[in-house]
């Protein structure tokens, strides 16, 4: 009988110890930590800012445009100048620079503007932060499409626009 009691108590203790081992934290495998890449600021030079007044006749959509060749620049300049002489047709050394432009949507009055507030990059991505300034309501009523054009050091990074 005592032997049965020892077996009974032993079985209970073994079960309790088994349950306790389930609660113990298991050693997790060490995973390599991903390196967090801090973005760095990119210097840029403003080429031109202003607004188009062709009420969309220039056929330039709202959003960002990345220009990596003289041919692409010539096409954009021709579109911008299709209604009014808006921008000088100039040449760039695209082995040294990338041109970045942002066009806002067509607005029902003047006074709106867009600007580049900052440009940052990681090893594979460049982010162009756009600042939009609304009209104060006391501006001329004319259809406008604000834009800004800047140049940065030549990059093959994917360029994203953020407003």
Residue 93 near residue 68, CB atoms below 8 Å:
no
> How high is the pLDDT of residue 89?
78
Cα–Cα distance between 159 and 78 in angstroms, integer? 23
> How high is the pLDDT of residue 22?
56
Residue 90 near residue 121, CB atoms below 8 Å:
no
Residue 94 near residue 68, CB atoms below 8 Å:
yes
What would the pLDDT profile of 107-144 be if each residue is shown by its tens digit? 988 899 999 999 999 989 999 999 999 988 777 888 99
What would the pLDDT profile of 24-38 be if each residue is shown by its tens digit? 555 556 666 667 778
- The pTM of the full predicted model, rounded to 2 decimals, is 0.76
């Amino acid at each position: 009988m005592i032997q049965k009691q020892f077996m009974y108590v032993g079985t209970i203790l073994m079960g309790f110890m088994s349950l306790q081992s389930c609660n113990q934290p298991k050693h997790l495998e060490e995973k390599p930590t991903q390196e967090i890449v801090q973005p760095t600021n990119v210097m840029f030079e403003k080429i031109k800012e202003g607004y188009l007044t062709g009420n969309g006749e220039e056929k330039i959509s709202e959003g960002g445009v990345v220009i990596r060749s003289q041919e692409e620049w010539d096409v954009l300049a021709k579109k911008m100048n299709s209604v009014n002489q808006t921008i000088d047709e100039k040449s760039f050394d695209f082995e040294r620079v990338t041109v970045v432009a942002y066009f806002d949507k067509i607005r029902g009055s003047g006074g709106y503007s867009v600007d580049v507030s900052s440009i940052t990059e990681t090893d594979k991505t460049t982010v162009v932060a756009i600042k939009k300034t609304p009209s104060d309501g006391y501006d001329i009523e004319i259809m406008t499409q604000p834009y800004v054009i800047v140049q940065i050091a030549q990059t093959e990074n994917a360029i994203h626009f953020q407003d």
